[in-house]
């Protein structure tokens, strides 16, 4: 039964699902989540890395991608607004994808007023400033000229390059310390100041789900980190009582 009135108005947030055809169980869980839990929400925010990778919007017809896109599209028929912020894996998700899936792509970061809170939303990779090699790579691949050149190549060539990049990044990650791959506290503070101290800051990327209470310049800000979906789903629920982790079945 649909809840009546305002008693159950809430927003759901997820990130780092890393959906791909080789992990069908997680895609199944995502589709179940969309068709049960998510359709009762006011809005769903996907804060990056929905897909393990995205080679370009000319890959929309891929059967696995279609499964995900059709699920997202069903959400809009239940009047659930859907928003997406690019992750470091799927930053090539473009307008055609957004139109087909019936969702809105937001800049990273974006501030939204939700349930009476000023909520800052981000994927989180831009805050990992201790990882100099990654930030250099990020700057390169987020450049419109680089993206245009990359997308001009045939889809198969792009997929092969992404595969090679993923293998290199896995090797490099094993040599990087945990501290380097986490968000940098100064970068977090600078962002919170730049956005005039939001009430809540939510991001993913680090796969270290947690609630961090921050005291900064006499402001109290709660930073929530979303978890990944490698083993099970991970989701935050936001309503007038604030944010909490939502157990998923």
**Residues near Mn ion (CB under 5 A):** 49, 87-88, 205
Q: Measured at CB, which residue is nearest to Mn ion? A: 205
- 89 contacts: CB under 8 Å, gap ≥ 6: 18, 48, 49, 51, 52, 53, 54
Q: How many CB atoms lie within 10 A of CB 115?
A: 16
Minimum CB–partner distance for residue 115 and Mn ion (Å): 26
Minimum CB separation of residue 123 from Mn ion in Å reads 6
Shortest distance, CB of residue 73 to Mn ion, whole angstroms? 24
Q: Which is nearer to Mn ion, 117 or 134 (CB)?
A: 134
Residue 13, SS3 per DSSP? strand
By beta-carbon proximity to Mn ion, the closer residue of 17 and 243 is: 17
Q: Could you give the maximum distance between any two Cα atoms of the chain, in Å?
A: 53
Cis peptide before 173 (omega within 30 of 0): no
* C-alpha 62, offset from chain centre: 21
Q: How many CB atoms lie within 10 A of CB 199?
A: 17
Between 46 and 114, name the residue whose CB sits nearer to Mn ion. 46
Closer CB to Mn ion, 10 or 227, in the complex:
227
Shortest separation between residue 48's beta carbon and Mn ion, angstroms: 6
Q: Taking each helix axis from N to C terminus, what angle separates 144-151 and 155-174, rounded to the nearest 10 degrees?
A: 130
Please state the closest distance from residue 204 (CB atom) to Mn ion, in A.
6
Whose CA is closest to 123, among 139, 101, 107?
A: 107
CB 212 within 8 A of CB 124: no
CB of 2 vs Mn ion, minimal distance in Å: 34
Q: Which tokens go with 182?
A: 């986490």
Is the CB of 10 or the CB of 205 nearer to Mn ion? 205
Nearer to Mn ion, 33 or 51 (CB): 51
Q: In whole angstroms, what is the distance from residue 205 CA to residue 182 CA?
A: 9
């Amino acid at each position: 039964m649909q809840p009546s009135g305002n008693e159950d108005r809430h927003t759901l947030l997820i990130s780092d699902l890393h959906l791909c055809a080789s992990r069908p169980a997680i895609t199944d869980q995502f589709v179940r989540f969309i068709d049960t839990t998510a359709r009762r929400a006011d809005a769903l925010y996907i804060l990056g890395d929905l897909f393990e990778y995205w080679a370009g919007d000319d890959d929309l017809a891929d059967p696995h991608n279609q499964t995900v896109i059709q699920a997202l599209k069903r959400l809009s028929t239940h009047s659930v607004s859907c928003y997406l912020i690019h992750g470091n894996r799927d930053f090539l998700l473009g307008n055609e994808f957004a139109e087909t899936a019936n969702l809105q792509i937001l800049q990273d970061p974006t501030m939204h007023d939700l349930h009476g809170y000023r909520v800052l939303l981000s994927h989180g990779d831009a805050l990992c400033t201790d990882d100099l090699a990654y930030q250099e790579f990020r700057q390169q691949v987020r450049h419109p000229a680089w993206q245009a050149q990359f997308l001009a190549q045939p889809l198969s060539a792009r997929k092969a390059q992404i595969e090679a990049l993923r293998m290199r990044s896995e090797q490099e990650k094993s040599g990087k310390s945990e501290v380097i791959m986490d968000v940098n506290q100064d970068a977090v503070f600078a962002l919170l100041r730049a956005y005039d101290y939001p009430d809540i800051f939510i991001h993913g990327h680090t796969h270290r789900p947690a609630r961090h209470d921050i005291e900064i310049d006499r402001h109290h800000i709660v930073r929530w980190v979303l978890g990944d979906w490698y083993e099970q789903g991970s989701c935050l629920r936001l309503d007038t009582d604030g944010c909490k982790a939502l157990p998923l079945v």
